[in-house]
Chain A
Amino acid sequence: DTAVSQTPKYLVTQMGNDKSIKCEQNLGHDTMYWYKQDSKKFLKIMFSYNNKELIINETVPNRFSPKSPDKAHLNLHINSLELGDSAVYFCASSPPLGQANPEAFFGQGTRLTVV
């Protein structure tokens, strides 16, 4: 029973297309995140939502739009894909802010390749 699940696991698409990555967590967490891992394995946060409200937006291009329909889901929509968007995107969730042991649980990642 997967705690944080992302779909799809692999995504190959052409430049200029629009694509979405979905994320769901069944841990009852209030906070969810999107991280990007580039080709050099460097991991950096993109967005964070707390109970469906955006709380972190790390200067990500506005072609990237997160959407949280409820606190168990955080989807990432990317418009007008560019070659530089090729990366592995990880979804994560953690307990509410202020709660002890705020450990983040990660999904398996979505490898996006833009050609």
Chain B
Amino acid sequence: AQSVTQPDIHITVSEGASLELRCNYSYGATPYLFWYVQSPGQGLQLLLKYFSGDTLVQGIKGFEAEFKRSQSSFNLRKPSVHWSDAAEYFCAVGAEAAGNKLTFGGGTRVLVKP
């Protein structure tokens, strides 16, 4: 069975500071990995994804994530956050063997201080 852990429930960061959100997954083989963002009252928007190849992936809105197989991690980073980055962030794992269903982490709420 696949599982995802996001250790940080809340993170507060100052505008212009860097941001890193942690994600650890559990799956027997190499999974598909995703980061989604959800703004208040909105749906889920895909930030970036990893399927194979280069372990450092670039996404939208200046986000990037690095897949580290040895640590079973897929942490999300942004060098300089903007006030509009305040949202809920979800890491997810999928696998074809599981019908491509996504298993989500519990989410990390990011608050941005002016």
Contact = CB atoms under 8 A, between A and B. Distances in A.
Given A41-B107, A104-B94, A90 B100 contact: no
Given A101-B51, A103-B46, A109-B43, A44 B96 contact: no
Contacts, number: 63
A50 interface: yes
Nearest to B104: A43
Interface residues of B, number: 24
B11 to A, nearest CB: 14
A106 B100 CA distance: 14
Interface of A: 31, 33, 35, 40-45, 48, 50, 55-56, 90, 92, 94, 97-98, 100-109
Given A42-B106, A103-B34, A97 B46 contact: no
B99 A90 contact: no
A94 B46 CA distance: 13
